[in-house]
Amino acid sequence: MSDTHARATEAPRPASAEDVPYELIELLFFAYRDFVGDPDRILADYNFGRAHHRVLHFVQRRPGLTIAELLDILQITKQSLNRVLKELVETGFVESRMGTQDKRQRNLHATTAGRELAVRLAQLQAKRINAALAIVGPEAGEVVARYLAGLIDPAERRKVLGSLAGSD
């Protein structure tokens, strides 16, 4: 892909003038748009939005998660988190228990209802993911996972991958 079509009279390489993978950039946009679109419709029935979904998802996947850990995952402010978390607790989808070791901390858990909703949403997304996998071939899962991991900030990557493996 580098020197395939030598351009007439040009410098060794204009840094990265035009090896921009526009196709992947746009596919990522379209794919993500539809990927998060599925749950949105269901969440609307509960008067929840995407923010609620993200919180519920990670609480369900990482039982006992603390507020600080959740903030680190979502990379939003505690005020933003609190708004949706409070609603999830008040409506009985998430439980917030005082930490046993450190009583300042809160350990978050999905309730039965929370678990059910989270799983329902995850299955919806799974359907789409597995359909895509069926098109490309199942061996693509591994490749795509490593590719997506490669898109994560290098500084974050180790931590994220560790938390993925741990909760699996």
Residues near DNA (CB under 7 A) are: 47-52, 54, 66-68, 71, 74-86, 96, 99, 101-106
Phi, psi at residue 106, to the nearest 5°?
A: -120, 135
CB 108 within 8 A of CB 95: yes
CB 88 within 8 A of CB 94: yes
135 binding a copy of itself? (CB under 8 A) = yes
Interface with a copy of itself by CB under 8 A: which range of 4-12, 93-101, 108-116, 134-142?
A: 134-142
Shortest distance (Å) from residue 104 CB to a copy of itself: 27
Shortest distance (Å) from residue 98 CB to a copy of itself: 27
Site size toward a copy of itself, by CB under 8 A: 58
151 binding a copy of itself? (CB under 8 A) = yes
Amino acid at 136: V
5 binding a copy of itself? (CB under 8 A) = no
> Which of a copy of itself, DNA, none interacts with 135 (beta carbon under 5 to 8 A by kind)?
a copy of itself
Shortest distance (Å) from residue 71 CB to DNA: 7
44 binding a copy of itself? (CB under 8 A) = no
CB 96 within 8 A of CB 70: no
Angle subtended by helix axes 50-61 and 67-74, to nearest 10: 120
C-alpha to C-alpha distances, 129 to 29, 105, 141, nearest whole angstrom: 15, 35, 9
Over its C-alpha atoms, the chain yields an Rg (Å, rounded) of: 21
> Which of a copy of itself, DNA, none interacts with 86 (beta carbon under 5 to 8 A by kind)?
DNA
162 binding a copy of itself? (CB under 8 A) = no
C-alpha to C-alpha distances, 112 to 42, 57, 96, nearest whole angstrom: 18, 13, 14
Return the number of the residue (104 or 146) whose C-beta is nearest DNA: 104
